[in-house]
Amino acid sequence: MSLTRFSISLDADLVRRFDAKISADQCPSRSKAVGDLIRASLVEQEWQTDDEVAGALVLVYDHHKSDVLQRLTQLQHDHGSTIISTQHIHLDHDNCLEIIAVRGHPRQLSQLLMRMKAVKGIKHVSLAAGTTGQRLR
Amino acid sequence: MSLTRFSISLDADLVRRFDAKISADQCPSRSKAVGDLIRASLVEQEWQTDDEVAGALVLVYDHHKSDVLQRLTQLQHDHGSTIISTQHIHLDHDNCLEIIAVRGHPRQLSQLLMRMKAVKGIKHVSLAAGTTGQRLR
Amino acid sequence: MSLTRFSISLDADLVRRFDAKISADQCPSRSKAVGDLIRASLVEQEWQTDDEVAGALVLVYDHHKSDVLQRLTQLQHDHGSTIISTQHIHLDHDNCLEIIAVRGHPRQLSQLLMRMKAVKGIKHVSLAAGTTGQRLR
Amino acid sequence: MSLTRFSISLDADLVRRFDAKISADQCPSRSKAVGDLIRASLVEQEWQTDDEVAGALVLVYDHHKSDVLQRLTQLQHDHGSTIISTQHIHLDHDNCLEIIAVRGHPRQLSQLLMRMKAVKGIKHVSLAAGTTGQRLR
């Protein structure tokens, strides 16, 4: 890994407020803080421009409901190329939290999310929009 | 206005991708681009920590519906201290776009938004979360 | 306007919690509350599928900075077909809140937002994503 | 589980558009579609009112970087009561996708997210905001 060093000029008050935020966030340095903002803006761009991304789909459902387990398994096999692996947590006697690690194009992941949501017995679906990290040092 | 100049070190590939984004966004300089990211993160913080903020509430409604105009006017007078001014646009024969410039604490603005939303005849309410700019150079 | 009446069956506990939320939100009826959720989901769809939409761009800037006023006016004339009208508020001695009522396709509005953001002296740009209301009763 | 059946009255055009969306989303029924909107609004409320929630934190990092693995493990032990389990995926030679199933109050999870983000070597952190499902039939 090679580093690039560059200077920027910003209003002194703005820098003071930024430094206060860096300290409150327990961030180790200005370089790390600026780098985080830049990386987050690039990940947002990856999702908008339909580049390859990675993330997690989180489902909550009652495993007693109809044939929810079978339908979900079927769906996951249909989307085998975008699904990496699945983590299953027993929240309580009835409720399951299922976390599906996914990788693919945003459009594919939206399609999968929509199909998951349509399964009867699913209570909630959410998405953590991450990155493959490949183009992101 | 006094400027502070400082240097940061980031991975060379990350800087290359950031430069490409800056150019695609037609942003004039790295300082402006980094400043924009910092300012956006500080505005986000203002909304989370319930500082004084400014922005706009956007309503869409059919002015023929029941007593929607009267109710909205009443509401705006009740929240006179947070409302700066109102802009009214006739979208078509039935639909009105009303844009209300607001200033206050995020909690007050959420309260106002909730009360607007509850008015019968309102089709949609949205919010543009901005800033008073005072602490933001 | 003609009404359609239909029945839905939901878990009794879910309905209880929904009724509590309706009451807390001061919403006048279940029909209004369900209608609001449906309309919000349709407006979201309009923005995703690049239908014609309406909303507001909110800018905050220091009018003393370079030629920000001239650049903004130039930009607004370049995008005349998407801009309906502008509301200008003097937040304090330095800061201006400018609210631009816009109408067009989401892609056009994003383009305009990006160009506004790139103007030197602009502190913050935000967007309230609304609707023309035409397809939304 | 007991069901509650109730009727709502909505504009005929609105219902037509909703039915078109239900069909495009491959959703099996109006009851399921309305229930989904209601559940999503209640989960949003759980996150705003700081009720107990569940979800997933997604991290992307280069495992070669400094002592990122050790720091992350340390952090996870410090937050043992909110972390349920962890799933680790090797995205490529350098990049790791780590998905942490979490449960707790939104404030605790934000705290954890902030501390994860501050670790040197972390490229990106995102959150899927879900629910424990307990109050959500």
Neighbours of A77 (CB within 10 A): 9
Is A22 in the B-facing interface, judged by CB distances under 8 Å? no
Q: Output the 3-class SS for chain C.
A: CCEEEEEEEEEHHHHHHHHHHHHHCCCCCHHHHHHHHHHHHHHHHHHHCCCCEEEEEEEEEECCCCCHHHHHHHHHHHCCCCEEEEEEEECCCCEEEEEEEEEECHHHHHHHHHHHHCCCCEEEEEEEECCCCCCCC
- Judge contact between D41 and C21, C-beta under 8 A: yes
Per-residue pLDDT tens digits of chain A, which is 137 residues long: 699 999 999 999 999 999 999 999 999 999 999 999 999 999 999 999 989 999 999 999 998 887 999 999 999 999 999 999 999 999 999 999 999 999 999 999 999 999 999 999 899 999 999 999 887 77
Phi (first) and psi of residue D93, to 5 degrees: -55, -35
Closest CA to C24 of B22, B114, A105, D30: B114
Looking at the partner chain, which of D120, D124, D136 has a beta carbon nearest the beta carbon of A40? D124
- Judge contact between D55 and D112, C-beta under 8 A: no
Please report, for chain C, the start and end positions of each structural domain, with discontinuous segments joined by +. Answer: 12-48, 53-129
Residue C66: pLDDT over 80: no
Q: How far is A19 from chain D (nearest CA, A)?
A: 14
Closest CA to C63 of C118, C112, C120: C120
The angle at the Cα of A64, spanning A58 to A66, to the nearest 5 degrees, equals: 95
What is the rounded distance in angstroms from the CA atom of residue C116 to the CA atom of residue C78? Answer: 12
Q: How far is D17 from chain A (nearest CA, A)?
A: 18
Looking at the partner chain, which of D39, D62, D120 has a beta carbon nearest the beta carbon of A123? D39
Is D39 in the A-facing interface, judged by CB distances under 8 Å? yes
Reported as a single tens digit per residue, the pLDDT across D92-121 is 999 999 999 999 999 999 999 999 999 998
Is A113 in the D-facing interface, judged by CB distances under 8 Å? no
- Judge contact between A65 and A121, C-beta under 8 A: yes
Is A48 in the B-facing interface, judged by CB distances under 8 Å? no
Q: Which residue has the tokens 């996150």?
A: D47
The amino acid at residue C42 is L
Reported as a single tens digit per residue, the pLDDT across C76-117 is 999 999 999 999 999 999 999 999 999 999 999 999 999 999
Token pair in block for residue B55: 């922005």
The angle at the Cα of D87, spanning D85 to D89, to the nearest 5 degrees, equals: 165
Interface test mutation site (partner B, options C91, C93, C95, C116, max chain B beta carbons within 10 A)? C91
Per-residue pLDDT tens digits of chain B, which is 137 residues long: 699 999 999 999 999 999 999 999 999 999 999 999 999 999 999 999 989 999 999 999 998 887 999 999 999 999 999 999 999 999 999 999 999 999 999 999 999 999 999 999 899 999 999 999 887 77
Is A30 in the D-facing interface, judged by CB distances under 8 Å? no
What is the rounded distance in angstroms from the CA atom of residue A63 to the CA atom of residue A65? Answer: 5
The angle at the Cα of A98, spanning D82 to C41, to the nearest 5 degrees, equals: 100
Name chain D contacts of C23, Cβ cutoff 8 Å: none
Chain B neighbors (3+ CB pairs < 8 Å): A, C
pTM of the model: 0.91
CA-based R_g, chain D, Å: 20
What is the rounded distance in angstroms from the CA atom of residue C26 to the CA atom of residue A29? Answer: 47
Q: Which residue has the tokens 């003097």?
A: C90
Q: Which is it for the CA torsion A40, A46, A52, A58, positive or negative? A: positive
8 Å CB contact of C10 and D1: no
8 Å CB contact of D130 and A126: yes
* Domain A53-129 is found in CATH 3.40.50.80: no
